Each structure stands twice: as structure tokens, then as C-alpha cells.
């Protein structure tokens, strides 16, 4: 088995390669696909130039590869065509397993991030690839900025109402990806992956208080107030609209579901919120 990990120099990609090696994969059987190969030199595995916007680079990176992890791109608005290029190349190469990191309930969710993931899942199905879909919930590390602000202000402010988030650490999701890449029996599965506990923002404030040693309160905002706060901080209208839409999705429960699938895949409990946050500090 030879495994290609796309986006290998990103935070998740690096952890996936680390997890593959921890699980006994031969470094020579792992290919780190990276736009800037110099950034992958420290990974200890084979490296291939791979740029989602350069189909020839994708085809070359796939040479001799039978298993692919497509880590979703970071360029919002460009993901669908970039992912399509990888899907087309993987189909042409006849890969035996194609794993994709998607979003929670991607094909039915109203979450602002869902449409590009929905399009990608549909493209994978249309290509007939032997696939596994990993619908990753939020990374706990996404709240590093909230931790830093609350350490100074004693406040977590958001427009999520009492919405809950079943987050887990990137390491948890990376371990799940590695398990699916290395094990038999996962093809055809769509896994909804989340942390063991769906917490609310009062819980987030309490976790930050425990880490910082100061009182921290959750201050609920209306979505209008959230938008005004973001504008006052200097964010452009596109970013304001995006963040407000994310908060609205959280308030509606888009990230609240958890059924233990992630813990079962990785063979251990997921990382508790306070531990995941503490690692970011």
C-alpha cells in the first residue's frame, strides 16, 4: 500500500502523517503532497509537488499510489474545482481507496461551509471512486483566538445562543484518518465524526477559566450585535457575513451531534475540551 496525503504541510496533514507512522506505516509507503515541497522536508516521508490548481502535478504525485487522503482545501470558494482535479486524477490512476475530509452532514446541512463539501462528495460518488467520507466536526483548536481574548478580557462573546459543539482535537481527527487509511473494511462508509461531549459556550468559558485561572463569562450576542462587533474590529463585510452565518449554524445545532463514532475509530476517548484548549495555549 502506498498512501498519498494531500495538503501534507497543513496542521491536519502533518498530524495524519505522524499518526500513520505511529501506527507502523513504512515512511517509504507515505507520500506527502505539498505545494511547497521544502515545507515537507521535515516529515520524514517521500515528498511530491502537488498543487490543486496544476492537474499535471496531481497526476505525477499519484504515480504508484493506491490510497489517497484528500484533505479539503483551505481556499473558501475554490474548493470544489480544486477537489475535482484530485478526484479526476485519482479516477484516472485507478486508486483502490479514496478518503475525503468533509463537513458535518455535508449533503443536508445549512452550515455556510457545507455546499463546497456537498459538491465534493457528489463528485466523488459520480466518479465511482471506492471512497470513505470523514465528516469532521469542529477542531477544538479553532477556539485558540477565543482563549487568547478571554485571557485578557474575561469574556467569550458569540452569536451562537445555546448552540452546542461536539469538537475534538486535530490529533483525534488525524488518528481517525490514519485508521481508515490503513485498515480494511471502511470503503463505502460515511462517518460523522465528533467529540464525545457536545459542549455549549458556558462550558467553553468555564474551560478557559480553568486554564487561565481567571473568571470568564459567556456573553451571548444577537447575530446583529455579533456583526457590529466584528465590523468594529475592522473585518470586511465578506468575513463578517461568513462568521455571522457560522454562528447562526451553531445556534441551530449544526455542530451538536455526537454518537461516539470518532472514539470507536481511534480506540480511545476523544480529547476533552479543556485539554484540547490547554494544548493550544
Please, which residues have CB within 8 angstroms of residue 67's CB and are 6 or more apart in sequence? 1, 2, 3, 4, 95, 96, 97, 98, 99, 181
% the chain with pLDDT above 70: 100
Q: Residue 115: how many CB atoms within 10 A of its CB?
A: 16
**pLDDT digits 0-9 by tens, 34-76:** 999 999 999 999 999 999 999 999 999 999 999 999 999 887 7
Q: Please give the Cα distance from 261 to 275 (Å, whole number).
A: 20
Look up residue 204 and give its three cell numbers: 467553553
Residue 78, pLDDT above cutoff 90: no
Q: Where are the domains of the chain?
A: 3-136, 137-169+195-257+270-281
Instruction: Indicate left, alpha or beta for 258 from its phi (over 0: left) and psi (-120 to 50: alpha).
Output: beta
Query: Is 256 in contact with 198 (CB distance < 8 Å)?
Result: yes
CB 272 within 8 A of CB 203: no
Average pLDDT, the chain: 96
Q: What is the DSSP letter of 37?
A: G
Q: Given this model, what pLDDT does residue 152 score?
A: 96
Q: At what angle do helices 114-127 and 79-93 cross, to 10 degrees?
A: 20
Note the pLDDT tens digit of each residue in 218-264.
999 999 999 999 999 898 998 999 999 999 999 999 999 999 999 99
Q: Which of 198, 187, 168 is nearest to 264 (CA)?
A: 168
- The reported pLDDT for the residue numbered 75 is 79
Mean pLDDT along residues 149-178: 97
3-136 architecture in CATH?
A: 3-Layer(aba) Sandwich (3.40)
User: Lowest mean pLDDT: which of 90-99, 168-177, 190-199, 222-231?
Assistant: 222-231
Contact 256, 165 (CB under 8 A): yes
Nearest CA to 143 among 214, 223, 201, 215? 201
What stretch of H or E contains 261? helix 261-266
Query: What CATH fold (topology level) applies to the domain 137-169+195-257+270-281?
Result: UDP-galactose 4-epimerase; domain 1 (3.90.25)
Interacting residues of 177 by C-beta distance below 8 A, sequence separation 6+: 12, 16, 19, 69, 99, 101, 134
What is the mean predicted confidence (pLDDT) over 193-201? 98
Confidence of residue 100 (pLDDT cuts 50, 70, 90): very high
Q: What average pLDDT score do residues 137-166 get? A: 96
Asked if 6 and 99 count as a contact pair (C-beta separation under 8 A), the reply is no
Amino acid at each position: 500500500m502506498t498512501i498519498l496525503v494531500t495538503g501534507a504541510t497543513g496542521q491536519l496533514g502533518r498530524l495524519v502523517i505522524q499518526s500513520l507512522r505511529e501506527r507502523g506505516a513504512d515512511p517509504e509507503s507515505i507520500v506527502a503532497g505539498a505545494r511547497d515541497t521544502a515545507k515537507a522536508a521535515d516529515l520524514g516521508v517521500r515528498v511530491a509537488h502537488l498543487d490543486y490548481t496544476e492537474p499535471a502535478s496531481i497526476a505525477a504525485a499519484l504515480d504508484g499510489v493506491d490510497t489517497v487522503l484528500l484533505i479539503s482545501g483551505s481556499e473558501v470558494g475554490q474548493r470544489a474545482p480544486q477537489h475535482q482535479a484530485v478526484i479526476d486524477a485519482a479516477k484516472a490512476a485507478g486508486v483502490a481507496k479514496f478518503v475525503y475530509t468533509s463537513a458535518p452532514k455535508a449533503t443536508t446541512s445549512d452550515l455556510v461551509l457545507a455546499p463546497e463539501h456537498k459538491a465534493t462528495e457528489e463528485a466523488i460518488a459520480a466518479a465511482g471512486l471506492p471512497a470513505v467520507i470523514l465528516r469532521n466536526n469542529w477542531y477544538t483548536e479553532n477556539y485558540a483566538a477565543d482563549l487568547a481574548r478571554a485571557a485578557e478580557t474575561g469574556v467569550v462573546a458569540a452569536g451562537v445562543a445555546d448552540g452546542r459543539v461536539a469538537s475534538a482535537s486535530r490529533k483525534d481527527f488525524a488518528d481517525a484518518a490514519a485508521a481508515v487509511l490503513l485498515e480494511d473494511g471502511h470503503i463505502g462508509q460515511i462517518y460523522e465524526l465528533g467529540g464525545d461531549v457536545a459542549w455549549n459556550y458556558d462550558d467553553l468559558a468555564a474551560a478557559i477559566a480553568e486554564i487561565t485561572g481567571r473568571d470568564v463569562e459567556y456573553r451571548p450576542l444577537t447575530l446583529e450585535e455579533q456583526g457590529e462587533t466584528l465590523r468594529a474590529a475592522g473585518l470586511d463585510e465578506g468575513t463578517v457575513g461568513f462568521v455571522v452565518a457560522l454562528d447562526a449554524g451553531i445556534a441551530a445545532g449544526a455542530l451538536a451531534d455526537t454518537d461516539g463514532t470518532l472514539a470507536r475509530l481511534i480506540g480511545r476517548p476523544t480529547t476533552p475540551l479543556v485539554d484540547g484548549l490547554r494544548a493550544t495555549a
